[in-house]
Amino acid sequence: MAVRLSRATLAAVAGSAAVPQYRPQLLSPGIVHIGVGNFHRAHQAVYLDELFERGLDRDWALIGTGIREDDARMRSDLAAQDFLTTVVTQEAGFSQARIIAPMLDFIAPGESETVLARLADPRIRIVSLTVTEGGYHVDPATQAFAGDDPDIAADAADRLRRPKTAFGLIAAALLRRRAAGVAPFTVMSCDNLPGNGHVARETVAGLVELVDRSDAAWIRETVAFPNGMVDRITPATTQRERERLLADFGIDDRRPVFCEDFRQWVLEDRFPAGRPRLEEVGVQFVADVAPFELMKIRILNGGHAAIAYPAGLLGIRFVHEAMQDPLIARFLSRLLAEEVVPLVPPVPGTDLRAYRRTVERRLANPTIADTIGRLCRDGSDRQPKFILPTLRDALATGRGIDGLALVCAFWCRYCHGESESGAPVTAEDPIWPRLRERARMAKAEPAAWLGMRDIYGSLAQEPRFSAAFGAALRAIWAEGTRAVLERYCAAESTPP
């Protein structure tokens, strides 16, 4: 018999899942988190839950909030189950569930004044974010703050009185604390961005600079924005996952999270307002996180981007099914080994070749059911972060780029709007209509695709890349995805 998740039913759930042993009355808030999606609840919230289970730092509980329409539905669903979440960890051969309870409240989107009052509370010493790579109001080509973004411009025009963006809320709260003589909180990004702390700082300060330059200077000089690398493959939750939770564990959870067993969190130890002792539960604190985040973004996230579009063109639904396809698996392995990993700088205490093999094993995990559709999402934001920096480095050092150019060509072909079987495809991308238009132009003239300067910048003027991209795209159209993959995998390695 299914048990509806709530604090009142924890005893009944305990037979099939680990349940929290600490009570909410023992917790007090120390962190406001913006963007309470699956990844946050499978990652940061799990680390805090483990810390509280050890009886440590219970004054660092979470208050959630968000700015998207779905955040309101998330808030309603989580409130109905006392802000509990079932986290199901899966690997080949085992599956285990635990109920986590580090969240005390969730402020609904649109309640700006309530959010600002909470952010101004001296007890809040960290504000963390998972707002996706595309939520930082950054120009894709330059990776600089986009002050002309309509949402940012609206917050600035309103002088941050009723902010609508995550960064508007953060900026307004920091200025309130400054005016009240309260020390600023630390802003901790948990998104997959190179230098995510630096990017968050420039977005907050850039927004404030549109209103008052002296306040922006104070933010840059005073507020801490530590960089961090976060990692745990966490698919979107669908009805499939809810039904599996019911069938396997007898738990009725409106918003369960399914994820892999692997997890990693590397943080720069810059928290002047204090922090929980997360090192006690496996978080690695370092002086410089850049080598770790570059490794993860280029190998794992780059690997995701590499297999997404050929798999989508072939009609493959799940990531593990793509990795079961010998051609896609060989393509990924060769691309990472020959064109990506050699351009990743050394990482302290890490064997990059072993890390690559671990990534390939993780992507092949058959129990996660991560979807190709999720990997195809937001290509206009992800390609400039996960693929193009490696491509630029390869061009600068004279290394081979055939596989990287092929990744770009597969993305272009996918954006044409149909798979190789003729089935319509689409992707959640803010500029999808423009991508589709350019992809259709590029079928006859590949340069039309590279002409999107907001994505490719000066890469279109690189003869070696434009030639390789054009040849790859024409071959995909003429011969098909499998033939092109086969030729790449069979070709002799090109020495650097």
Same-domain status, 297 and 203: no
Question: Does position 494 have pLDDT exceeding 70, yes or no?
Answer: no
Same-domain status, 208 and 232: yes
Which among 277, 276, 275, 273 is positioned nearest to 121, based on CA atoms? 273
Q: Provide the sign of the torsion angle of the four alpha carbons 160, 164, 169, 170, taken in this order.
A: negative
Amino acid at 257: V
Same-domain status, 250 and 350: no
Same-domain status, 440 and 474: yes
Quick one: tokens of 269?
């130890």
pLDDT at 147 (0 to 100)? 87
Same-domain status, 482 and 384: yes
The CA distance from 131 to 67, in Å, is 9
**pLDDT tens digits, 393-406:** 999 999 999 999 99
Residue 457 in domain: yes
Same-domain status, 45 and 137: yes
Quick one: tokens of 359?
């990534």
**pLDDT tens digits, 166-216:** 999 999 999 999 999 999 999 999 998 889 999 999 999 999 999 999 999
Residue 495 in domain: no
Same-domain status, 467 and 486: yes
Same-domain status, 311 and 223: no
* Cα–Cα distance list, 242 to 94, 218, 394 (Å): 18, 47, 44
pLDDT at 456 (0 to 100)? 96
pTM, rounded to two decimals: 0.89
Question: Does position 138 have pLDDT exceeding 90, yes or no?
Answer: no
Quick one: tokens of 446?
């590949």
Quick one: tokens of 74?
């998330």
What is residue 385's three-state secondary structure? helix
Question: Which of 286, 317, 335 is a domain's end point?
Answer: 286
Order the strands of the 264-268 sheet from edge to edge.
228-231, 264-268, 284-286
Residue 15 has φ and ψ, to the nearest 5°, of: -70, -20
Same-domain status, 205 and 133: yes
**pLDDT tens digits, 230-278:** 999 999 999 999 999 999 999 999 999 999 999 999 999 999 999 999 9
Task: Give the domain CATH number at 120.
Answer: 3.40.50.720
Burial class (CB in 10 A: 0-12, 13-18, 19+), 214: exposed
Same-domain status, 166 and 237: yes
Q: For all residues of the chain together, what is the average pLDDT?
A: 95
Order the strands of the 257-260 sheet from edge to edge.
94-100, 85-91, 257-260
User: According to DSSP H, which parts of 139-190 are helical?
Assistant: 150-157, 166-180
Torsion (CA) 36, 37, 38, 43 in degrees, nearest 10: -40
260: β partners: 90
Q: Is the model more confident about 486 or about 1?
A: 486
Quick one: tokens of 135?
């939520």
**pLDDT tens digits, 342-387:** 999 999 999 999 999 999 999 999 988 899 999 999 999 899 999 9
Beta strand pairing call for 257-260 and 85-91: parallel
Same-domain status, 113 and 254: yes
pLDDT at 93 (0 to 100)? 80
Structural domain of 175: 3-286
User: Residue range 102-128: average pLDDT?
Assistant: 97
Question: Does position 495 have pLDDT exceeding 70, yes or no?
Answer: no
Question: Does position 431 have pLDDT exceeding 80, yes or no?
Answer: yes
The CA distance from 331 to 307, in Å, is 8
* Cα–Cα distance list, 452 to 274, 306, 435, 438 (Å): 44, 20, 9, 8
Numbers of helices and strands, H then E, in the chain: 24, 13
Residue 496 in domain: no
pLDDT at 493 (0 to 100)? 64
Question: Does position 496 have pLDDT exceeding 70, yes or no?
Answer: no
Question: Does position 134 have pLDDT exceeding 90, yes or no?
Answer: no
The CA distance from 309 to 485, in Å, is 12
Domains held by the chain: number: 2
Cβ-proximal residues to 201 (8 Å cutoff; 6+ apart), any chain: 187, 219, 220, 223, 225
Residue 132 confidence class, pLDDT cut points 50, 70, 90:
confident
Which among 373, 466, 383, 379 is positioned nearest to 425, based on CA atoms? 373
- Assess contact for 124 and 185: CB atoms under 8 A: yes
Cβ-proximal residues to 117 (8 Å cutoff; 6+ apart), any chain: none
Question: Which of 286, 318, 335 is a domain's end point?
Answer: 286
Same-domain status, 271 and 297: no
Tell me what percent of the residues of the chain surpass a pLDDT of 70: 99
* Cα–Cα distance list, 334 to 6, 309, 329, 338, 418 (Å): 48, 17, 9, 6, 27
**pLDDT tens digits, 291-348:** 999 999 999 999 999 999 999 999 999 999 999 999 999 999 999 999 999 999 999 9
Residue 280 in domain: yes
